[in-house]
Amino acid sequence: MRWLNQLFGTDNHTPETTQHDLHRAAAALLLEVARTDGEVDEDETRHLLETVQTRWHLDPVEMQDILGEIESRLDQATDLFEFTAPLREHWDPETRVALIEDMWSMAAADGKADVHEEHMIRRVSDLLYVSHGDYIRAKMKALEGSEQ
């Protein structure tokens, strides 16, 4: 749990946030998209692990170990700001747009992106200062890719 405390500023004895910590925060947002419709099925779990491994080179075994920790943190979170603030602060606009695209891809992993997932991704997009045009382009790119 040390990385969560470091990332969210509740542990005063740790050094600055690392890219690895930011990747874990992004993984938490992807997991939250999967949880938005009430259940995380096997396709969504597989897609999450593949995305995290491909995009940020987080080990799937490590992801399995921290999934419970991320879920617990998401359950305790009052809003998404605590997950998006470090990403907005440390990531450039292109990387934040790529995360929105990954979130759309995650939403479509179970074969459908519902209105609740869309609302959540829109909120994250706003919190990350992603323009509406970039949000729409990321959505179109991700949803086109999921139809193949």
46 falls within a domain: yes
Query: How confident is the model at residue 132, as a pLDDT?
Result: 96
68 falls within a domain: yes
Annotate the chain with three-state secondary structure. Answer: CHHHHHHCCCCCCCCCCCHHHHHHHHHHHHHHHHHCCCCCCHHHHHHHHHHHHHHHCCCHHHHHHHHHHHHHHHHHCCCCHHHHHHHHHHCCHHHHHHHHHHHHHHHCCCCCCCHHHHHHHHHHHHHCCCCHHHHHHHHHHHHHHHCC
Alpha carbon 16 to chain centroid, angstroms: 20
Query: How confident is the model at residue 31, as a pLDDT?
Result: 84
What would the pLDDT profile of 58-75 be if each residue is shown by its tens digit?
Answer: 776 777 766 776 666 666
User: Could you tell me the pTM of the whole model?
Assistant: 0.79
90 falls within a domain: yes
Domain count, the chain: 1
9 falls within a domain: no
Query: How confident is the model at residue 1, as a pLDDT?
Result: 41
Query: How confident is the model at residue 125, as a pLDDT?
Result: 97
Which residues of the chain have a pLDDT value below 50?
1-4, 8, 10-14, 148
What is the domain extent for residue 113? 17-146
CATH no. for residue 76? 1.10.3680.10
| Burial (Cβ within 10 Å: 0-12, 13-18, ≥19) of residue 73 | buried
77 falls within a domain: yes
Query: How confident is the model at residue 13, as a pLDDT?
Result: 44
